Amino acid sequence: MKQLRHRLIAPMTIGAIIALLILAALSAAGIQAVDHISHPSDVFTVVYRNASPSVVAISVETEAGGGNGSGFVIDRDGHIVTNAHVVDGAQEIVVNFINGAKVRGTIVGIDKASDLAVVKVDLPAAQLSPITFADSQDLGIGQTVLAIGSPFGQGWTLTSGIISALDRRIRGLTEFSIGGVIQTDASINPGNSGGPLINLDGEVIGVNSQIISDARSSAGVGFAIPSNLARRVARSLIESGEMRYSLIGLTGFDVSLTVTELLRLPNNFRGVVVREILDDGPAAASDLREIAEMRTLDNEFIDMRVDIITAVDGVPINGMNDLITYLARKTHPHQVITLSVLRNGIEELKLPLTLGSR
């Protein structure tokens, strides 16, 4: 036992000596060592303390009854971002602040396509604490995130988790999808809708919007609308009361194994297969072609004639989600874009297309 004790102590002694040498080297280099290591919960406490004055609890009254949600202040003019489904149809909106202040809110604009809305309150600038948007293009899977909101009407709850996935696609309140969505396992429940998903710098990376759950409570799969889209929509709603999206006028699907086999493409080839070009849409006026499948009598594929979109304006497109995200974030109606297209697995084309409007 005595011999074993020596074996345990010796590495610890050596480790202590190494630590002292490192500290001495840092001191000699003029670098001061941190005098303590904060526990993650301490970091969360600081982030919550700084961000919570920007987060609001929203109560609404509609013809169908009452409801609750969350939101966050984005400027000193009193503009607040929340979800469209929180305030849509509201006859009365009450905005609650963490300091106890309660004020009425008015709708500036609603964008059902992104499930986002902007509400305005009339308060002095000194009483408002705007929160900062982060760049959602800089996010990484595994990154620690925090959600602040009012689940089940319980105000200012903090939950933590990570970014579980990026570039998810969810449905908005229209027939169109929302692309580039953030998936998180931070607990999100009814009432969190419209509240911020933030990073450890206290910046908004997304707007908490949906969950997947059979029980209408957190099952570890929550979705947040990315901050870059939220910022663009909020700006448009404030400036004009509406958000106008580009329309390309086609349906498509991600390149499948069957497509790569039939066209003899690399098995990691990616893009959007043009399934159908909608009548009277922008794509119908371009040189894009719909998929044409040739079959034998026993219903086996023998040939496939197809356009695959691989890039827009030189930006690679890996699938339908990328195409939706690019159009929503980077384009506007009537803009001319250039599609990189692989036709029939052989011919590489550059096709101009003038976008329409939803």
The reported pLDDT for the residue numbered 17 is: 46
Give the number of other CB atoms < 10 A from CB of residue 328: 23
Query: What is the band of 6 on the pLDDT scale with cuts at 50, 70, 90?
Result: very low
> Given the structure tokens 């008015």, which residue do they identify?
106
Percent of the chain with pLDDT over 70: 84
| Residue 214 maps to a domain | yes
Q: What average pLDDT does the chain have?
A: 86
Q: Among 127, 146, 173, which residue terminates a domain?
A: 127
CATH of the domain at 292: 2.30.42.10
Last residue within a domain, chosen from 194, 212, 240 = 240
Mean pLDDT confidence for 292-307: 68
Averaged over 146-171, what is the pLDDT? 92
Residue 69 to residue 299: CA distance in whole angstroms: 52
Of the listed ranges 27-36, 278-287, 316-325, 326-335, the least confidently predicted one is 27-36
Would residue 26 count as lying in a domain?
no
Examine residue 175 and state whether it is found in any structural domain, yes or no: yes
3 pLDDT more than 50 = no
Structural domain range at position 56: 48-127
Q: Which of 201, 219, 240 represents a domain boundary (last residue)?
A: 240
- Catalytic annotation, residues: 85, 115, 193
* pLDDT of amino acid 329: 87
Question: Is the same domain home to 64 and 88?
Answer: yes
Using pLDDT thresholds of 50, 70 and 90, give the confidence band for residue 316: very high
> For 37-51, 89-103, 150-164, 197-211, which range has the lowest pLDDT when averaged over its residues?
37-51
pLDDT tens readout for residues 193-219: 999 999 999 999 999 998 876 656 666
Statement to judge: residues 89 and 192 lie in one domain: no
280 close to 312: Cβ distance less than 8 angstroms = no
Residue 171 lies in a domain: yes
Q: How far apart are CA 339 and CA 358, in angstroms?
A: 19
pTM: 0.78
Give pLDDT tens digits for 235-273. 999 999 999 999 999 999 999 998 898 899 999 999 999
Give the pLDDT confidence of 321-352 residue by residue, as tens digits: 999 989 988 999 999 999 999 999 999 999 99
Both 101 and 145 in one domain: the answer is no
Asked if 174 contacts 180 with a C-beta cutoff of 8 angstroms, the reply is no
What is the rounded CA–CA span in Å between residue 283 and residue 281? 6
* pLDDT confidence of residue 214: 60
User: What pLDDT is recorded for position 33?
Assistant: 40
Give the closest residue to 52 by CA, choosing from 69, 67, 81, 73. 73
CATH number for the domain that contains residue 111: 2.40.10.10
pLDDT at 19: 46
In a domain, 3, yes or no: no
Does 105 share its domain with 193?
no
Question: Would you state the pLDDT for residue 26?
Answer: 43
> Do 233 and 251 fall into the same domain?
no
Question: What are phi and psi for residue 339, nearest 5 degrees?
Answer: -95, 130
What is the model's pLDDT at position 296?
53
Predicted pLDDT at 302: 56
Q: Which residue would you say has higher pLDDT here, 61 or 31? A: 61
pLDDT at 10 over 70: no
Band (pLDDT 50/70/90 cuts) for residue 69 is very high
13-29 pLDDT, tens digit each: 444 444 444 445 444 44
Considering the domain architecture, whether residues 140 and 207 belong to the same structural domain is answered as yes
Half-sphere exposure of 166 (CA within 13 A, CB side): 14
Say how many domains are in the chain. Answer: 3
Please indicate, yes or no, whether residues 311 and 265 belong to a single structural domain of this protein: yes
Residue 284 lies in a domain: yes
